[in-house]
Amino acid sequence: MTPPLRKKSGLRTENKVTLKTIAEYVGLTPGTVSAALNNSPAARSIPAHTKNRIIEAAQALNYRPNFFARTLRLKRTYTIGVIAEEIGDAYGAMVISGIEEYLRKNNYFFLTVIHRHDPKLLQTYAQMLLTRGVEGFITTDTSLTEKLALPTVAVAGHLPVEGVTNIVLDHTRAAQLALEHLRDLGHEEIAFIRGQTMSSDSAVRWDAILRGGAATWHAHSSGADRPTGGLRFNSPALDIPLHQATPG
């Protein structure tokens, strides 16, 4: 039975602590210690109380795994490249915060780069992340038009691209809900800020406003009941009667 950790206080923890150090401490093989600490498939055959002994010993001895040795051994980096348009804006910050929370809970690390809608910078950063061993990409507000070198998840991606999984909002439903709410409050003229043309969502969102607006109008008005002016919504340089709006 392994003696209480406090009895090992004389061990010189300032020296480099290795798997062999922990193995000698708990009276097991380095392979068993490695399997438990890395939670490898072989760890399934190790009793829970033995795993706990190994983890407690590693913590008491201030064990710090060698990242590069671990990467070479497992052929994994557990690192994801996050490619964002910007970090400071509220939307991007919330998305990146959610990415960080999920990756942290699953013991992944991530590197973030900002492309500012510059296609050349996007390709440069994607290559840099690749050389640093990332295992996949997550993009936010990025209009991908071609396949990247690794599996990719695009938050607000809209084009079908090989190797890319798009995460999209139901903009049409969102537009309907927003317009119905404003209409029920008695509003008949609605200003809409379309957003920058470079944003991956702008065109799709505007199309959804047109579709959602038309659906909202036709669902709640008949030809005889329509007011003369009609329900209207505006965007820069546009002034379109809602009942006449159709997707472009």
What's the mean pLDDT in 140-161? 87
Q: How far apart are CA 103 and CA 78, in angstroms?
A: 9
What's the mean pLDDT in 135-143? 90
pLDDT tens string 45-73: 999 999 999 999 999 999 988 777 777 77
Q: How far apart are CA 207 and CA 240, in angstroms?
A: 13
Residue 244 confidence class, pLDDT cut points 50, 70, 90 = very low
Helical axes 171-184 vs 202-220, angle rounded to 10°:
50
Q: How far apart are CA 41 and CA 244, in angstroms?
A: 62
Element at 31 (helix H, strand E): helix 30-38
- Report the amino acid identity of residue 221: S
Q: Is 85 in contact with 114 (CB distance < 8 Å)?
A: yes
DSSP for 38-73 reads: HT-GGGGGS-HHHHHHHHHHHHHTT----HHHHHHH
Q: Which residues of 165-204 are buried (b: 16+ CB within 10 A; e: fewer)?
A: ebeeeebbeebbebbeebbeeeeeebebeeeeeebbbeeb
Q: For residues 74 and 101, which has the higher predicted lDDT (pLDDT)? A: 101
pLDDT tens string 160-215: 889 999 988 888 888 888 888 888 888 877 777 777 777 777 788 888 887 766 66
Q: List own/partner pairs for 221-224 with CB under 8 A and 24 or more apart.
A: none
Name, in order, each residue with C-beta under 8 angstroms of 219's C-beta and a sequence gap of 6 or more: none
pLDDT at 2: 53
Determine the 3-state secondary structure of 190 from DSSP.
Answer: strand
The DSSP letter of residue 234 is: E
The mean predicted confidence, pLDDT, of the chain is 79
